[in-house]
């Protein structure tokens, strides 16, 4: 089973991402920074937050679904704000998406908030609402259940250092995972955590037997050349002892975002 996690950057590098996914579709894709804007069919709109201006694919969720026809996609919104079409505003939802190959029965799932709650009238004040999604699927190739969770961790304008909010986020993620995962399940928890490698987040998740593959296998970071700020870590992939890792890598090529693709085969 192949599991991929990626912060998709709102689809800014859409073409190489779709080419990668269509060439070798994962069994489960955990995608963060997903945009869903049912009110428009525009190809590109603009996100504005003060000096932070970014082109966005307003129907990024639909774009990815179009190259994964053999997958069931679930969009999990964290908030609804607006994107800009020139001077016109377009309602747009922001959140996570999980794509599961339809040959893998999805037997249980849960989504919930790890920071704040759904914001229906604007993206909210920083640090903005953040959610997580957990799925439990049956893997016929190995005759077993597998549980997979991902999140997009809160973004603090002061950086990625630990805060009380980040500790609470880790505890909420742990508790959400335990509503779906069973004691002997292979368990994978991944995503853009927005924390440093020495974060207390990993101790909290260690309480349920999870160990990170990015830092323990010596990868130097999870950012591509499109990310020009200091600090090279944001994304992590954690597994428990029931996961038989065949391979794990942080892909630096192709560049499909300002985050690297995390690719796990079990």
- CATH number of the CATH domain containing 246: 3.60.10.10
Token code pair at residue 135: 């799925």
Angle at 29 (CA atoms; ends 26, 35), nearest 5 degrees: 135
pTM: 0.98
Instruction: Report helix, strand or coil for 209.
Output: coil
**Angstrom distance (rounded) from CA 157 to CA 7:** 18
Per-10-residue mean pLDDT, the chain, length 266: 98 98 98 97 95 95 98 98 97 98 98 98 96 98 98 96 98 98 98 98 98 98 95 97 98 98 98
The pLDDT, as a whole number, for residue 51 is: 86
Token code pair at residue 132: 């997580």
Burial tier of 144 (Cβ tally within 10 Å: 0-12, 13-18, 19+)? middle
Structural domain range at position 227: 2-265
The pLDDT, as a whole number, for residue 50 is: 87
Query: What total number of domains does the chain contain?
Result: 1
63: how many CB neighbours lie within 10 A of its CB? 19
Q: How far apart are the first and last CA of the chain?
A: 5
Of 160, 146, 149, whose CA–CA distance to 205 is shortest? 149
**Angstrom distance (rounded) from CA 34 to CA 52:** 17
């Amino acid at each position: 089973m192949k599991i991929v996690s990626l912060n998709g950057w709102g689809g800014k590098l859409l073409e190489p991402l779709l080419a990668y996914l269509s060439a070798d579709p994962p069994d489960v894709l955990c995608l963060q920074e997903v945009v869903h804007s049912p009110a428009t069919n525009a190809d590109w709109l603009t996100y504005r937050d003060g000096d932070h201006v970014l082109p966005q694919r307003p129907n990024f969720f639909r774009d990815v679904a179009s190259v994964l026809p053999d997958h069931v996609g679930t969009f999990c919104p964290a908030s609804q704000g607006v994107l800009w079409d020139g001077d016109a505003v377009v309602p747009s939802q922001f959140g996570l998406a999980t794509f599961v190959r339809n040959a893998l029965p999805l037997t249980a799932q849960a989504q919930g908030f790890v920071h704040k709650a759904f914001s229906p009238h604007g993206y909210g004040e920083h640090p903005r609402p953040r959610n997580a999604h957990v799925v439990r699927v049956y893997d016929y190739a190995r005759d077993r259940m597998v549980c997979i969770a991902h999140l997009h961790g809160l973004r603090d304008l002061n950086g990625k250092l630990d805060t009380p909010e980040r500790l609470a986020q880790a505890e909420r993620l742990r508790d959400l995972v335990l509503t779906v995962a069973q004691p002997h399940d292979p368990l994978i928890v991944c995503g853009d955590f927005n924390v440093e490698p020495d974060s207390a987040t990993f101790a909290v998740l260690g309480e349920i037997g999870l160990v990170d593959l990015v830092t323990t296998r010596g990868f130097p970071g999870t950012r591509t050349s499109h990310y020009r700020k200091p600090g090279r870590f944001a994304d992590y992939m954690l597994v428990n002892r029931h996961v038989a890792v065949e391979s794990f890598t942080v892909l630096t090529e192709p560049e499909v975002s300002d985050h690297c693709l995390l690719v796990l085969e079990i």
